[in-house]
Structure formats: structure tokens, C-alpha cells
Structure 1
Amino acid sequence: MDYVIKNGTICLEGEHFRGDVTIRSGRIWALGEAIHTGSEEVIDASGCYVCPGGIDPHTHMDLKQSPKYRACDDFYSGGLAAACGGTTTIIDHMAFGPDGCSLSYPFEIYRKLAADCPVDYSFHGVFQHVDEAVLNDLGRLIDDGFPSFKAYTTYGYPIGTKEMMAILPVIKAHKGLLTVHAEDDGITNALRQTLSERGPIGQALTRPNEAEAAAVAAVLAAARACGDAPVYIVHTSAHESLAVIGQARAEGQKNIYTETCPQYLVLTEDKFRDGGPEEGIKYMMAPPLRKREDNEALWQGLQDGSVQTVATDHCPFTEAEKEENVSDFRTCPGGVSGVEERLPLLFYQGVVKGRLSLERFVQVTSSNAAKIFGLWPRKGSILPGFDADIAVIDGEKTRTIDKTSLHTRCGYSPYEGMSAAAVPLVMLRGEIIARNGQFCGRRSYGKLVKRWRL
């Protein structure tokens, strides 16, 4: 089916204007006045904003976090939730494999896990160790369309500066990108071992801003020493980290990209205390929720372009799984939902409240991720020749986020009760996959998208 979306405000990364979008054979055909052949279905978008389908570059679908806990959303339920919230492409961070496994090992596992995904998808690789075989695999996988890989500076397989100094030259030579979970392993583990507070607030106390900023500084130093190799800091949460990044950029380091998430924009560590431990434990995540000053610094970063993307780190667990660890935060699985809430929440909190322009909203939810991760010029905009991935957003119709209307399997939302915009229609490659928050797409409609960075 071909379509004409009429009378909406077309939102691009550099401008917005009133007009029509003509869609043929799953691609954007023309903008401006509609080009009719008589066979198109006409969609009236009067009063609405026609935006590129969201790209969430940080999800954890079906992630096995420990022998006991696995994320409750798989690629079908998580992809369905993404679709209903206006996100049409996800890039998933894969879980660790067995000790000593090859860099390519998880890719075959994840191709099977994602087979039912109803939105388009790709994967970030993950480092567990570094040796000659890993480095050889790295170059080959980048050339094969998987340019981004993740290093954790903490958890079970911490990658230190020495290992990064081996990884980054290969990343740079093959036009790849190193993404980093940046928290100082020594600081966090020392605090976790000595802290007497076992309630949910312990997560914030043992993973302080300084731990994130110290790790960010070390990553940027390694990248600079490797000739300004490209690095991307995931889920940036601390204002000190932004200061470190800003200083590096001011000194001439160009290939630095920064991501934050909705939880670090609209929630604070008060959530760990409010409502008692049983409520606070639901907000367990890493990095932890921060303070209001961190929220404001991140909003400023989105406004001035120093923060490039808003992802979700979608990795939910059920309330029961969280609550069974209420007596000791250290055993609790970390992660919350967000893939369905991201676009409508950010449109309301950002655009409607005057914090973000329409252009900046498009950049941080879609076009920047497409450019950074190698999806451009196929995804990330509503331009002729691009995939017809579209989210129609009604900025005048406000809804309240309610767990009963969401599609995640975790049974709750960290944003419960907050205002969000309505998303009346979502399209992926020219096919309507959601209407008014209800899924109408197809299992397995999503495609694995190969990526090459320009």
C-alpha cells in the first residue's frame, strides 16, 4: 500500500514545515504538496507532527543478566512496545557469552533471539577480553556491517585502559565506534564492600558521580592517545561527566559522542526513598538516578548539542524480581523499561515544555543516532529515498503514562503518572505498525539492518 500523509508539520533535523509526505513502495517519495496517482491511502495529520521513526540505540532485549535473572522483554514484546511508542529501529547491546568466547559468538545467538522482532534491529558487539583473535574478529565484524562494540569498565569483564589501547586503533582503522559503560570499577566495588546501607539508596551511594566522571576521563584519554579514535559514552548521567567531555572537546578532541536516557532527565535519587524500600527497589539501575542539578545539566546538553542522543537502556525486570531483593540492593537485577515511553515522554517534557525545538527533538531521538551508528542515509529522516519510518505525534493531545496501557512485560513504568504526548500512528518501511498506542504490525516484520559509518 502507498500512502499520502497530509496536512501535518513535517519535522526534519534542520527545519520543520507544513506539508504532505508521499510514500511509495515503503520509501519516502516526496515532500511538500502530495503527488497522487489515485491508489494511495490518505492519512490526515492535521494538527500533528510527522517525525522520523525513533531510533533507540541502547536496548537490552532478552538479556541474561545473571544465572537467576533475565530481562522480561524479549525481542517480540520489547519490539512491540517500541512500535507502540513510535520507535521503529533498535540497536541492542548483547549480553556476555561464556568465559573466553570469541567476539563473534554472541552474534549468532542474537540473530536467533531477534527473529520475532516486529521492528528493525541491529546489534552492538561486546568485549569480554582482548587478544589477537578478538582484534581480528573486530575488524571483520565492522566491515560486515556491525561497526559498534561495547566495553564495560566495571562488572564481570572490566575493560581497562591497556585493553582499550589495543581496541581503539582497530576501531579507528575500520571506521567503527567504541561505546563505553563508564563507571570506575575500583570506586564502585570499594564502596559496595564497605557500605552498611543495604536499602535502595545504597545504589546511588556506591556509584557516585565521581565514579562515572573518572571512567569517562580515562576513556577519553585513551581515545586521544590513539589519534582521536571515536568513542561514545552510553547513559551519561552525571554533570561532572559532561564537564570532562566539554573540556576534551575544547582541547580539540572531536570524535566524542554522548548519550543520556529519560530516567536521567526526569527522575532523581529521591525515587530510591519515596514510598519505602519496596517502591524504591523498582528503580534499581546503573548508573543510578542522580540529583536535580544533573537533570538540568543534561537538558542543557541536549539543548546546546553537547549531548547527541537520548536512548533508553531498556532492560526491565518484574516487580516481583525486584522486590525479592529489597533487603540488599546488591543482589537486585538492574534496569527499567523505557522503549515505549521515550518518544512521547520526551516530546512532552522537551518540546511542549519548551526545552527542545522540534529540530533538536528529531536529532536526539532519530537522526543523530542514524548518523553516529551507520544507519544514515537510510534511516533517521523523512527525506526522499529514506525508509518510510514515521511517527505521527499529536502534541496537543496529552496522555498520562499508565502501566495498564503499556506493553512491557514488567508490569510497571518508572514514569507512571507523568504526562506524555499521544502517538496516533507509527509506520515502518511504509507499513502501519501501531495506531493510537495499539500494535497492528506483524511478528518478525523487523529486519536485521547492516550498518556502515560514513
Structure 2
Amino acid sequence: MSILIRGGTVVNADNSEKADVLVQDGKIVAVGADLELPTGCEVLDASGQLVMPGGIDPHTHMQLPFMGTVASEDFFTGTAAGLAGGNTSIIDFVIPSPQQNIMEAYKTWREWSQKACADYSFHVAITWWDESVKKDMGTLVREEGVNSFKHFMAYKNAIMAEDETMYKSFSRAVELGAITTVHAENGEIVFQLQKKLLEMGITGPEAHPLSRPPAAEGEAASRAIRLAEVIGVPLYLVHVSTQDALDEIIRARNAGQRVFGEVLAGHLMIDESVYRHPDFEYAAAHVMSPPFREKHHQDALWKGLQSGNIQTTATDHCCFCAPQKAAGKDDFTLIPNGTAGVEDRMAVLWTHGVNTGRLTHEEFVAVTSANAAKIFNIYPRKGRIGVGADADIVLWDPTATKTISVKTHHQNIDFNIFEGMEITGKATHTISNGILKYADGDLRVEKGMGNYIKRPAFQPMFHALEKVAKANKPKAVKR
């Protein structure tokens, strides 16, 4: 199948140019002015539009079993909704239960993901430790193309990774050339504050942000960064929601440490007042972790994105409908944590980032696709409009408008955290694997159209202590 995109402005993270783009057999084969039209080729008129790499959402949870229920969005509906918003790839999470064999969990997620209609890859969470975990991490990196491992510093008595587990996992990642990622919240602080609030009779969603204060995120971010520094492993902090955590990232990066930050579209736009809404369903629909924060944190996060100290944007897309959220009607700790966003991320960021002057067109591409592709080692296959890259392309009309609504979105959830938001700038066409899968509101997808993307390991490293010990080894003295 061939597609010629004609008359648009190609935008990459490093430049923009007026050019046509020719797609054949799932790849970009030519980028240039006035390209010749091959026989039988479909033509898309991109006049007045931008031609950009398809979005990469590096943080989603499709079909996740969590807190006694299962997320309502599966890999088909979730990737379809993503395509409607201009996203062509996701990186989801394999999350083994405590003591569950991680290869067994990985195979389960791979089975679920077979119905995806856009490309996908996986981070794998390390929730416990023994020698089998160490061995399986090697198998995942060397044979399955997994180059990132997740560590939950929250959710005590469930999937929280203790410091010992993190130390051993971080050390193994160094050996394998993998990157480590963390959900940075102090799980003990959260656990104790949850108990205290319930004892005080504060049981509704308004207790959720009170139990997860900014300091709990800042402390965990600092601890993870320091541990990564000692070991010498690259670290990626997911869903940074506070200035506290951002300050820790900036300090580490200024010291030369390889630390990366991710921010959610929701954390840039929504504040914690939603948890004090008198309607339980409304307030509970916003319960996620970390929670939405006071407005001054949003200002800091935007500046972090603008300065390059936060490199990626994501959604933590994890859908639970009102009947599922109702499990925590009398106890906020039982409300399943998660909100949606995979369909809306790019339009929200364009409207409130590009249209406000916070981000250039090129910076938008960087934070929605190119940086994630680089950090997780699939660039320039993904995240770039260039010859040889996968034909994952979004045609973007910067003047098109719409109102975000649960009534019109494609996400399989009964609530939208951006409900009523007027956006200017949206995807008109999305090409994935060289196939036009979304065109002017028409989703043209079937189950199984997506591909699993292996991500190569980085160059294997040495434990930082080994380097120091070698440098300080006593020299032999001649007698």
C-alpha cells in the first residue's frame, strides 16, 4: 500500500520544512518537494496542515487488573482511541503480582495485547526479588526486547518495591543495559496517612490528595535518584506531579546524572479542587496517583517541560467507570486509581502548550514522540518523519476546533477529565504502519493491526561502585 502526503509542512523535533512524504510497505521511503506520484498511490492533501510523527504515549495501562477490578479499556479500544487522537504507539506495563513469575506475567500481557490496532511495547514492573527475577530480566532484555523496568515506591502490601528490591533490580539493569523507571511516592507515608484520615472519619475522595502530599513524592524521587546515582543506572520518573520532585530531577541533571522526567497532560491542566466536588462520582472519577495538585505545581511542571528538565508527556491512561469507582464510596482507599487521556493528550498539549507560546511546533514533537523514542531506544524508527522510519504519521490541522466530551470520545470510559475543554488543533488523519487508520472522524481499525515493538538494550554498563573501586585500587609497590 502506498500513500503520498502532499503539500504539508513536515515537523520534526529538530526542524520544519515544506515537503511531501511518500509511504510504501509500512515505511517512509521519500521526503521532499514535489515527489512523483507512483501508480496506484493514494493521495492525501495536507495543504495548510502539519505532518508530524505519530504520538508515542510512554505510559498506559490497558486491561489492567488493579484494586479488585479490571480497567475498562482493553488493548483494542485503547489503541483505537489513541489513533483518533494522533497517537500511533503506546508503551504499556506488565505488572506481576507479588511472588508471581515475571515471565508468566509478561506472557499474559502479550496475549492480551494481540488485539491492539496500533503498535505497542512494554515496561515490566519488578514487584519482588529472587534469583528467578534476576534471570528473567536477562531473558526479557536479550530475547523479548524489553529495555525498561518499573518500580512502584507506593502501594504498600501490594506491588510496592522495597529499597532492597530496587537496589538489586537497578544493579541488574546496569548489567543488562536497561533503564529503570519509578513511580515516586513514599509508600509508608501514604499508608500511614490513609489510616490516620480514616480514623478521623475523612472517608471521601477529598482525603485522597491529603494522604499523598507533595513531600511524599519529593522524598521518593530523591531516594530513587540517589539510589540510581550510587549504582550508575539511568532513571526515568513517571508522572512527575510536583515541584518537589521536579527540583530533585533538576538537581540531579545539573550534576550530570542521567535522569529523565515524564508529566501527564492531566497534571498540567487539573488541580486538586476536583476532589472536593460535592458529587461523589465526579470527585472519584479524578482519583489517580499521584493526585492532581495545587495550581502552583502546574506552573512549575510547564516550566520543567519548557526547559527540557521534563522530557516526555504521557497519560497514565487507566480507565475505571463509575460502578467500579463506587467500590470506595465509604472508604477512599478502595477507589480504583486511574483516569483516561490517551485520545486527548496531543490536542490538550497543542492547545495549552503551542497555542499559548509555551512550546514551539518542534518542541511539541519532541515531548509527544521523539524524546520518548530516544529515551526508550526506538529512535529514529519511531518519533521522526524521515526515510527508513516506520510510517507512523499524523496530519494535524492547527486551526481545527472541537469540544472534548465523553459523548464523542472513543475511550471506553464513562467520564472525561477534560470534559468541556475547547481545543484548537487536532489530528485529521492518522497513519500507522503505513495504513490510514483514522480519517476525518472515521476509525478504520480491526483487532490485531498493531505490532509488538522490541526495544534494543543500551550499551551494558558497570555498577558505579566498580568504577570507583577500580580507580582507587592500590598500586603495586616495587621493592
Relative to the length of structure 2, the TM-score reads 0.91
Say whether the 8 Å CA contact 1:371–1:453 is kept in structure 2: no
User: 1:166 is matched with which residue: 165, 168, 175?
Assistant: 168
Pairwise mapping of residues 315-394 of structure 1 onto structure 2 (< 5 A)? 315-394=318-397
Matched to 2:141, the amino acid is I
Work out the CA distance in 2 between the residues paired with 1:395 and 1:453: 37
Say whether the 8 Å CA contact 2:61–2:316 is kept in structure 1: yes
Work out the CA distance in 2 between the residues paired with 1:239 and 1:108: 38
Work out the CA distance in 1 between the residues paired with 2:457 and 2:421: 36
Q: Which residue of 2 aligns with 1:85?
A: 85
Q: Which residue of 2 aligns with 1:280?
A: 283
Q: SS of the residue aligned with 1:424?
A: strand
Give the deviation of 1:402 after TM superposition. 1.2
Q: Which residue of 2 aligns with 1:311?
A: 314
TM-aligned CA distance change 1:453 to 1:52, over 3 Å:
farther
Alignment: residue pair count: 450
Q: Which residue of 2 aligns with 1:176?
A: 178
Pairwise mapping of residues 175-194 of structure 1 onto structure 2 (< 5 A)? 175-194=177-196
Q: SS of the residue aligned with 2:375?
A: helix
Work out the CA distance in 2 between the residues paired with 1:238 and 1:118: 34
User: 1:410 is matched with which residue: 402, 409, 413?
Assistant: 413
Q: Which residue of 2 aligns with 1:204?
A: 209
Say whether the 8 Å CA contact 2:60–2:318 is kept in structure 1: yes
Give the deviation of 1:93 after TM superposition. 1.0
User: 2:271 is matched with which residue: 268, 283, 297?
Assistant: 268
Work out the CA distance in 1 between the residues paired with 2:448 and 2:11: 29
Q: List gaps (5 residues or longer) in structure 1.
A: none
1:442 matched to 2:446? The reply is yes
Work out the CA distance in 2 between the residues paired with 1:391 and 1:260: 22
Say whether the 8 Å CA contact 2:116–2:450 is kept in structure 1: yes
Give the deviation of 1:146 after TM superposition. 0.6
Q: Which residue of 2 aligns with 1:40?
A: 41
Give the deviation of 1:96 after TM superposition. 2.8
The percentage of aligned residue pairs carrying the same residue is 36
Q: Deviations over 1:385-404 (max 9, x none)?
A: 00110111111011110111
Q: List gaps (5 residues or longer) in structure 2.
A: 459-479
TM-aligned CA distance change 1:415 to 1:275, over 3 Å:
farther
Larger Rg: 2
Q: Which residue of 2 aligns with 1:295?
A: 298
1:424 matched to 2:442? The reply is no
Give the deviation of 1:453 after TM superposition. 4.1
Relative to the length of structure 1, the TM-score reads 0.96
Matched to 2:333, the amino acid is R
Q: Which residue of 2 aligns with 1:61?
A: 62
Work out the CA distance in 2 between the residues paired with 1:371 and 1:269: 32
Work out the CA distance in 1 between the residues paired with 2:411 and 2:23: 30
Q: Deviations over 1:49-73 (max 9, x none)?
A: 1110111111100000033x11000
User: 2:224 is matched with which residue: 219, 222, 243?
Assistant: 219
Give the deviation of 1:161 after TM superposition. 2.3
Give the deviation of 1:13 after TM superposition. 0.9
Q: Deviations over 1:286-341 (max 9, x none)?
A: 00000111111111111111101001100011122224533321111010111111
Work out the CA distance in 2 between the residues paired with 1:286 and 1:117: 26
Give the deviation of 1:275 after TM superposition. 4.9
Give the deviation of 1:160 after TM superposition. 2.5
TM-aligned CA distance change 1:43 to 1:176, over 3 Å:
same
Work out the CA distance in 2 between the residues paired with 1:266 and 1:327: 28
